[in-house]
């Protein structure tokens, strides 16, 4: 079995990144994590990845200023240097341009802490509570130009309890995230889940 080479892109603590690293230790897992890349030098996940023996790279977005294309060119160069097949966004707080997404079409996965298409964007737990949602959850999807709108690979729900705060709900959802992200990556890496442009809601552009 030729394992898919995966880069995980982070900006923060990297708990989903760790879930992917742990899962990829299994002999029969069809993907290996070859690179963890952060756009923030201080991301806590960098230390965790380093401890796990994974190559880490920082591409600080700040010197690039408004030049997102130059930032993404550097990102692209790094991914190609490491011969990456698949890119997993895991708390990567940088919107990607259509240039980058087109270059990696069907090869970028993202985890979103909500049951898409509900609650796209930020502050999903607060918004789910405010909306009185009875169910909440997490979704892994392919990345397309439109934020949080690509074809869904895996999704799982959790109940919202009357006593929930933003923190307790986030913690319950995070447990789900750590389970479905490795499972979704497995499905993409072994070819059970494929990106189909006809399922790409942005494909009609
Ligand atoms: C997760 O909740 C993920 O769904 C969202 O950002 C958070 C990242 O957490 N995209 P972590 O860095 O993986 O711990």
Task: Give the tens place of pLDDT for each residue, 119-159.
Answer: 999 999 999 999 999 999 999 999 999 999 999 999 999 99
**Rounded distance, CA 179 to CA 170, Å?**
14
**Rounded distance, CA 18 to CA 130, Å?**
30
Residue 64 Cα to ligand 1 middle (Å): 24
Work out the pLDDT band at 201, boundaries 50, 70, 90: low
Does the pLDDT at position 200 exceed 70?
no
Helix 15-23 to helix 44-51 angle, to the nearest 10 degrees? 20
Q: How large is the C-alpha radius of gyration of the chain?
A: 17
**Rounded distance, CA 156 to CA 31, Å?**
22
112 is catalytic: yes
CB-based contacts of 194-203 (< 8 A; 24+ apart in sequence): 194/106, 195/105, 195/106, 195/107, 195/142, 195/151, 196/151, 199/151, 200/142, 200/144, 200/150, 200/151, 201/144, 201/146, 201/149, 201/150, 201/151, 202/144, 202/145, 202/146, 202/149, 202/150, 203/144
Tell me what the pLDDT averaged over the chain comes to.
95
Please state the CATH superfamily assignment of the domain spanning residues 4-191 in this structure.
Formyl transferase, N-terminal domain (3.40.50.170)
Q: Which residues lie across from 155 on neighbouring strands?
A: 139
Work out the pLDDT band at 88, boundaries 50, 70, 90: very high
Give residue-wise pLDDT tens across range 44-75. Answer: 999 999 999 999 999 999 999 999 999 999 99
What residue spans define the domains of the chain? 4-191
For the segment 3-28, the average pLDDT, to the nearest whole number, is 98
Sign of CA dihedral 111, 114, 116, 122: negative
Residue 66 Cα to ligand 1 middle (Å): 25
**Given the residues 82, 112, 125, 136, the one annotated as active site:** 112
Residue 90 Cα to ligand 1 middle (Å): 6
């Amino acid at each position: 079995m030729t394992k898919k080479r995966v880069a995980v892109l982070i900006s923060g603590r990297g708990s989903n990144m760790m879930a992917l690293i742990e899962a990829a230790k299994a002999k029969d897992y069809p993907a290996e994590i070859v690179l963890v890349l952060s756009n923030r030098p201080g991301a806590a996940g960098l230390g965790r990845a380093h401890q796990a023996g994974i190559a880490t790279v920082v591409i600080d977005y700040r010197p690039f200023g408004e030049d997102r294309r130059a930032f993404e060119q550097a990102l692209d160069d790094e991914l190609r240097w490491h011969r990456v097949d698949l890119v997993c966004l895991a708390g990567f707080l940088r919107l990607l341009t259509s240039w980058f997404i087109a270059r990696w079409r069907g090869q970028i996965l993202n985890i979103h802490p909500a049951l898409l298409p509900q609650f796209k964007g930020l502050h999903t737990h607060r918004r789910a509570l405010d909306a009185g949602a009875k169910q909440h959850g997490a979704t892994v999807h392919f990345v397309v130009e439109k934020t949080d709108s690509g074809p869904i690979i895996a999704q799982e729900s959790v109940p919202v309890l009357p006593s929930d705060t933003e923190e307790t709900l986030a913690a319950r959802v995070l447990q789900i995230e750590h389970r479905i992200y490795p499972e979704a990556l497995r499905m993409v890496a072994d070819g059970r889940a494929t990106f189909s442009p006809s399922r790409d809601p942005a494909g009609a552009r």
